């Protein structure tokens, strides 16, 4: 089966909104936006979980009765529906919205600001706040960029960072598949990987001694490798349960390439031509990997990146 005419968005949240609704991302009236940072205020003591739920429910309008969501369609067809990870589109949601959209089960972050860190002190499961023991940072361990000695030390300071979120989600996903192997299920996993800023518990042995990569590039490569291995684990689980021939697995990106491993004299933000030292402006001078210094060629020879490059003149 080949789809010849498909549309998405350069950014992640509207791309997922399109996937879940079937609407293109220019339907601004259909995609109401909330404050992405509000859930961080649980850690600071400014709000409780339930107080934030009330604020979000007051802000967001209920969907029209005839409005269809992907999970709702699957549920009506008799599928058990579940999602794990970043949970829905941006920027902050609550249990009421996820239930309205047709999810029987969910587990993960409720907003995108916290999902930029990989060591959450709490996540959400079916309306309940779940504390993650020994993860204590309000920003979920989000580190700075571009790469400097200071950001390196911050990234590898493990204080308050015990349990990596991707490990939590993979355990839950494999358990869900096992528990629902005898019935139709629809599982949606908007993973954080390989989103940044870069964060990984260990550098993979495949890259540890690679002399062509900087330290931060080795870490980013390890994130991509972990995601690849995790997809393999999911496929192996389906095979071990003998349901692989009756399961469709779709793996897709939800946005354009972005650089999370910038470093002086390697690849720099704002993005500039490393041969001429001029900033890309997206018009006369467009970003290409070989010009920007991206050793991974993350945009596959295409022009541009996830984020719009501001047009500037020095």
Q: Give the pLDDT band (50/70/90) at residue 32.
A: confident
Backbone angles phi, psi at 111, to 5 degrees: -150, 160
pLDDT in tens, 125-164: 999 999 999 999 999 999 999 999 999 999 999 999 999 9
Q: Are strands 80-85 and 185-188 parallel, antiparallel or unpaired?
A: parallel
| Greatest distance between any 2 Cα atoms in the chain | 62
Topology given in CATH for the domain delimited by 12-258: Alkaline Phosphatase, subunit A (3.40.720)
Per-residue b or e along 195-206, where b marks 16 or more CB atoms closer than 10 Å to that residue's CB: bbbbbbeebbee
Sheet holding 128-131, edge to edge: 128-131, 122-125, 105-108, 80-85, 185-188
Alpha-carbon distances of 83 from 7, 103, 161, 266, 268, rounded to whole Å: 23, 7, 24, 37, 35
What local confidence, expressed as pLDDT, does residue 11 receive? Answer: 82
Q: What is the mean pLDDT of residues 113-124?
A: 96
Q: What is the mean pLDDT of residues 253-280?
A: 90
What local confidence, expressed as pLDDT, does residue 198 receive? Answer: 97
Which residue is listed with tokens 């079937």?
A: 22
Check whether 203 has a pLDDT greater than 70: yes
Check whether 25 has a pLDDT greater than 80: no
Q: What is the mean pLDDT of residues 81-107?
A: 93
CA nearest neighbour of 264 among 249, 246, 277: 277
Q: Where are the domains of the chain?
A: 12-258, 267-314
CA nearest neighbour of 186 among 286, 290, 101, 308: 101
Helices (H) and strands (E) in the chain, counts: 9, 5
- Both tokens of 212, joined, read 């062509």
* 140, burial (CB in 10 Å: exposed 0-12, middle 13-18, buried 19+): buried
Q: How far apart are CA 33 and CA 56, in angstroms?
A: 10
Q: Give the pLDDT band (50/70/90) at residue 28.
A: low
């Amino acid at each position: 089966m080949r789809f010849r005419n498909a549309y998405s968005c350069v950014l992640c949240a509207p791309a997922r909104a399109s996937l879940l609704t079937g609407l293109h991302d220019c339907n601004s009236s259909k995609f109401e936006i909330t404050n992405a940072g509000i859930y961080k205020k649980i850690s600071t003591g400014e709000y409780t979980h339930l107080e934030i739920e009330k604020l979000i429910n007051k802000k967001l309008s209920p969907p029209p009765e005839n409005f269809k969501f992907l999970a709702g369609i699957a549920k009506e067809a008799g599928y058990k529906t579940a999602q794990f990870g970043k949970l829905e589109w941006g920027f902050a949601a609550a249990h009421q919205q996820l239930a309205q959209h047709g999810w029987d089960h969910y587990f993960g972050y409720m907003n995108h600001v916290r999902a930029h860190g990989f060591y959450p002190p709490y996540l959400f499961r079916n309306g309940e706040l779940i504390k993650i023991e020994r993860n204590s940072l309000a920003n979920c361990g989000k580190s700075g960029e571009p790469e400097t000695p200071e950001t390196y030390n911050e990234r590898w300071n493990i204080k308050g960072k015990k349990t990596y979120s991707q490990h939590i989600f993979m355990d839950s996903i494999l358990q869900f598949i096992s528990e629902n192997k005898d019935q139709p299920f629809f599982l949606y996993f908007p993973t954080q990987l390989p989103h940044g800023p870069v964060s990984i518990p260990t550098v993979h042995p495949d890259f540890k001694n690679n002399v062509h990569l900087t330290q931060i590039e080795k870490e980013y490569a390890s994130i991509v490798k972990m995601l690849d291995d995790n997809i393999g684990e999911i496929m192996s689980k389906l095979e071990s349960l003998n349901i692989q021939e009756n399961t469709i697995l779709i793996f897709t990106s939800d946005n354009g390439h972005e650089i999370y491993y910038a470093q002086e004299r390697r690849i720099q933000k704002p993005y500039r031509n490393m041969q001429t030292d001029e900033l890309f402006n997206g018009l006369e001078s467009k970003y290409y990997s070989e010009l920007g210094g991206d050793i991974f060629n993350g945009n596959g020879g295409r022009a541009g990146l996830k984020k719009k490059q501001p047009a500037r003149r020095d």
